[in-house]
Structure 1
Amino acid sequence: MEEPIQIADFSEVTKFHGHSCPGIAIGYRASEIAVHEFFSRAVDEEMVAIVENDSCSVDAIQFVTGCTLGKGNLIFKDHGKHVYTFLNRDTGKALRISLKSSSDERDPEFAEARKKAFSDSATKKDLEEYEKIRNKTTEKILEAPVQELFEVEWVDMEFPEEARIFRSVRCAKCGELVSEHRIRVENGKMVCIPCFHNYSRA
């Protein structure tokens, strides 16, 4: 008989992230789905997460699933979308999780409180009210049925290449080390991206 899957407590995730908020709750719930439904047997780099935003939610995904940039199994696509795709290299399966509606859409009170709290005229009372409503909105996300929060679907997709280790070379301009797959050639010399003068006629 298999042991029940253990998922990090939400309080541990908020400690890692620094605060509790709707964004971290969204990432936590998405990770929870992936672990329970898909990755009970995936370990370490066999699990891959593709995230399409760089919001608070991604910290929860890193903490709960163990997918990180450093291991090469957290892939960031700058699409600005609450879409999270989890892949298991062992099984060849992929699970896509997309948020159905934003916190603002689900809770207009939260949207209004945030607007006041981030305005130039925000008072101490506005900030306190925002924190109270933010916590309430976060709790709603943690307690909501999965089908209310997300579209969850199995998808067919090409798996990304496994992470590789590249040698470092020295930039001919600044002298700093740069991974060879990120090098640019300028006037026959190897330079890093910040030093490279990009040519364009646009």
Structure 2
Amino acid sequence: MEDRLILEEAFRFHGHICWASAIGARAGLVALRELGVTRTGTSGELHCIVEVGNNHGAQCFTDGVQYATGCTLGKGNIEKAGWGKLAITLINKKEEKAVRVSYRPTRHKMIAESDFMKKRAAGIPPTQIPSEEAWAMANILWEAPEAEVLSVGPVGPYAWEDFGEIMGLKPCDSCGEMVSVAYLRMVGDKCMCIPCSGYDQ
């Protein structure tokens, strides 16, 4: 798939055009290139560690990464490090090698001063900003020279131990909802989901 189409599809997946998902998609594509692999459709090929945290700006970065790499929450092959940074480590599980790609802030002032971001700062939702303004802002990063907006580390060894997917679902004896067997807790003689069991985790 042509890179520009990937960007368009990443925005569709994310729900709106924004700079963070644009640079996330670009970081994901660069990481794939560096590892010499293509977007994954399974959980057994690639694993991604994305360094974003919780409740901070630019978490949209993660959706761009997910769409570009195919590492998704649903496949269980992406995880958050929780460091509040716009960076990823993409791991080729079979070859046990990885590369880290991070966002460089050299054009961030241009992003902050864009018409799109001025309207966002005024409280206008991203879906209500004209698409021309949104694309102009995204293109600041998408069309920039790679070395200006991304730091690409060396491909290096990364030991990987895969414990496999835990199969099996059972109904909670209390609420009746289906639960992965790894998340059932014993309370007396009953198997319960975590919320019903009273356990924290």
Superposed structure 1 runs of 4+ greater than 6 Å apart: none
**Aligned-partner Cα distance in 2 for 1:105–1:196:** 49
Q: Aligned residue for 2:84?
A: 80
**Aligned-partner Cα distance in 1 for 2:173–2:161:** 32
Preserved contact between residue 42 and residue 90 of structure 1 (Cα < 8 Å): no
Percent identity of equivalent pairs: 30
Q: Aligned residue for 1:123?
A: none
Unaligned runs of 5+ in 2: none
Report the Cα offset of residue 52 of structure 1: 2.8
Q: Aligned residue for 1:115?
A: 121
Preserved contact between residue 46 and residue 92 of structure 2 (Cα < 8 Å): yes
Alignment of structure 1 residues 155-170 onto 2, 5 Å: 155-159=156-160, 161=162, 163-170=164-171
1:7-58 deviation line (CA, Å, top 9, x unaligned): 4622233233332210221111101201222133685431222223373233
Matching of residue 52 in structure 1 with residue 51 in structure 2: yes
Preserved contact between residue 21 and residue 60 of structure 2 (Cα < 8 Å): yes
Q: Aligned residue for 1:138?
A: 138
**Aligned-partner Cα distance in 1 for 2:39–2:62:** 19
What is the TM-score when the length of structure 1 is the normalising length? 0.74
The structure with the largest alpha-carbon Rg is: 1
Alignment of structure 1 residues 1-202 onto 2, 5 Å: 7=3, 9=5, 10-40=7-37, 44=42, 45-53=44-52, 55-101=59-105, 105-110=109-114, 111-118=117-124, 128=129, 133-154=133-154, 155-159=156-160, 161=162, 163-198=164-199
Preserved contact between residue 11 and residue 21 of structure 2 (Cα < 8 Å): yes
**Aligned-partner Cα distance in 1 for 2:163–2:77:** 8
What is the TM-score when the length of structure 2 is the normalising length? 0.74
Q: Identify which range, 103-112 or 182-191, moves more after superposition.
A: 103-112
Q: Residue 195 of structure 2 aligns to a residue in which SS?
A: coil
Report the Cα offset of residue 103 of structure 1: 7.2
**Aligned-partner Cα distance in 1 for 2:112–2:78:** 32
